[in-house]
Amino acid sequence: MRYHAMSKKDLKDLSRASKEEFRCTLDEPSEGLVAYIENARVYIADKTPIAIELDSGDRIPAIHLLNKGMCTTPHVTVDQGAVPRILNGADVMAPGIIELSEFAQGSIVGVREPQRRAFIAVGRALMSSQEIMAVKRGRAIKNLHHAGDRIWQALIEIMIRIG
């Protein structure tokens, strides 16, 4: 794992892109890092992970950012029985979804657990929210990043190092 500082221009671009792609309300960051973690590039601004760019080309919000409540990214809430499976990297199945916001197929979606309503994963919608409610079966969201995965663990290490 390696990382380097971001330029002021890159920070502005990150802030703008986060507002457009993830519907976030970010202040203009004063400092930032780009961390290279296995199959991803992670952008950190003002000691908060903001975005993760995967080798697949997907750009997703970091779970840390979603849990700060600064984004209105579409989301689903899963039942408690689905939480351990999702935290092991499983995709989100439609029967396990108990609540959802509106989104289209292909959208980036946050996955929340039911008790504290904290985000535990980020994925790509394999069905629209209307399809999920109508069908109630099959894979609904492809899990791209979840709490406890290698990116998550590397982020925790970085956050400890930078204080």
User: For every one of its 163 residues, what pLDDT tens digit does the chain have, with 9 covering 90 and above?
Assistant: 788 889 889 888 888 888 888 888 877 788 889 999 888 999 998 888 999 999 888 889 999 999 998 888 999 999 999 999 999 999 999 999 999 999 999 999 999 999 999 999 999 999 999 999 999 899 999 999 999 999 999 988 888 888 7
Contact 1, 157 (CB under 8 A): yes
Range 2-68: architecture per CATH: Roll (3.10)
Q: What integer pLDDT is reported at residue 101 of this predicted model?
A: 96
Domain 75-146, architecture per CATH: Roll (2.30)
Report if pTM > 0.85. Answer: yes
Question: What residue ranges do the domains of the chain occupy?
Answer: 2-68, 75-146
